[in-house]
Structure 1
Amino acid sequence: MHYDPVKNVFASVIRKIPFFRIVFYKMLDMMFLRSWYVRRELKQIRKILGDKKIKILDAGTGYGQYAYFMAKHLSPCEINAVDIKEDWIRDCEEFFKQRKIKNVSFSIADLTKISYSNEFDLIVCVDVMEHIPDDVKVFRNFYDALNENGYLLINTPSIFGGSDVHDEDGESFIGEHARVGYSKEELETKLHPLGFKTTKSKYTYGFWGDKAWRLGIKYPMLLLNTGKIFFILLPVYYLITLPFTLLMMYLDFRKENKIGSGINFIAKK
């Protein structure tokens, strides 16, 4: 089971009808528990940084979901959103231009090759590091790119089943990952020697979050991979399951998970 083909289907739809992109962003924010955690931490970091204008690197912007959120809720700010996928960057550029969002710029970039120096107050990297084999190189680039006392927010699968590595059929749900995920200790082992200090670390998708992920995301994705006809059946599926999914997500969001299949990690330069 691979995730990218389904993501590309959604990308093609929101490319053709820009209004759907806004609806799509709202769906992502509601249905993906990681977005609940990331948006909460972004607001907290914004408060810590005060009222000054901040410069942000959205490292692996994808659909532009978090760039859109930050442009509206972390102002005053200037955002440089980068991704290695050219078509996604071009789609975002066009959409943000149509929406007249002027504090976000987009560019194609390989995070292993970026060479910023003391430029950003905040780097946001959501569900990216699990795709990159040479992660230490990227972490070093992040450190160089941050201003003194700048923050790095990483959201990634954890080692506790983050890529669904223990799936029933033995195949990873996210087949394109370079690693299963990270533990708090591994992130610290790789980040602290570079000069980072841990500010906050929280495992996400614990007992309830994992159940919500399977009910709200995994099982529908499995169906969609078998045929596009299941796009028609999705509304019925979610009409039945959505209340239970959201309740389980809320329970996860409010509790401290000793372990979980995701990790939200914040470090400071």
Structure 2
Amino acid sequence: MTNAITEPSRTTPVLMDTDVLVVGSGPSGLTAAIASARTGAKTVLLERYGCFGGVLTQVGVESFAWYRHEGTEDCEGIGREYERRAKALGFTRPEPQSISEVIDTEGFKFVADRMIVEAGVTPLLHSQVVDVIMEGNALKGVIIEGKSGRKAILAKRIVDCTGDADVAYKAGAPYTKRDKSELMGVTVMFTCAGIDVARFNDFVRNELKPTYADWGKNWDVITDGKEDDMFSPYMEEIFTRAHEEGIIPGDAQAIAGTWSSFTAEGEAMQLNMVYAFGFDCTDVLDITRGGN
């Protein structure tokens, strides 16, 4: 088997030229692009998938403000604006462990699109960065590929919000990476329908009574003690018991985690309860294996 091939040289057309190019449209990239455009800079937001929002719209992570409680000091800015805008449109529900709101993943697609248009950001979906354009040590642009083929985007400034530092890596920035056996575990987010919400909540509040002190099966948690008795939507002991009783077969050591909210129809959202080790999320073979 041949380990490598040599590609012929090619001429790549320039798709666009901009002041600021933000790569990746999760909450950080979306915020960076909106903030940039609001200052008057010509800004492009590049996303490899078909919608903006990153883990909020693609994965189902509903909230980034679960820490908000009475007496805490909250940050302001565009992050809070997302929550307010979504709530005004009916796209939120109360977050179970705090005084914040969770944001509906489908509704947030609309919120993101509206805020991008209002700010004057140029959106570009279905496009993935495959290479960078360098002049010496200076980053001048990126090469993208998609249904339109291979194109170049030139930019005075590039903001890497890919989550894996893809642009920085391709530009030759130094980095460190642990062995796969030492990498942080990955989770599979999912939802579950047909829940008797009233019965579930009664069971949780009156029998399970989960708190922040219960965390620890797959995470190292350090607190100063003041959070230990506070309610937290976390399940661990019940899964361990089910495994011991044979209800959950096989190895259930990685099953523990949290839920977020319930819809009016009885759907449990943002179930983050499967934690798996030995996956490298920069390896397409591992990503494929993890999804199966």
User: TM-score, structure 2 length as denominator?
Assistant: 0.26
Considering fraction of residues, name the structure with more strand: 2
Give 1 or 2 for the bigger CA radius of gyration: 2
Q: Give the number of the structure whose residues are more often helix, by fraction.
A: 1
Query: Normalising by the residue count of structure 1, what TM-score does the alignment of the two structures yield?
Result: 0.27
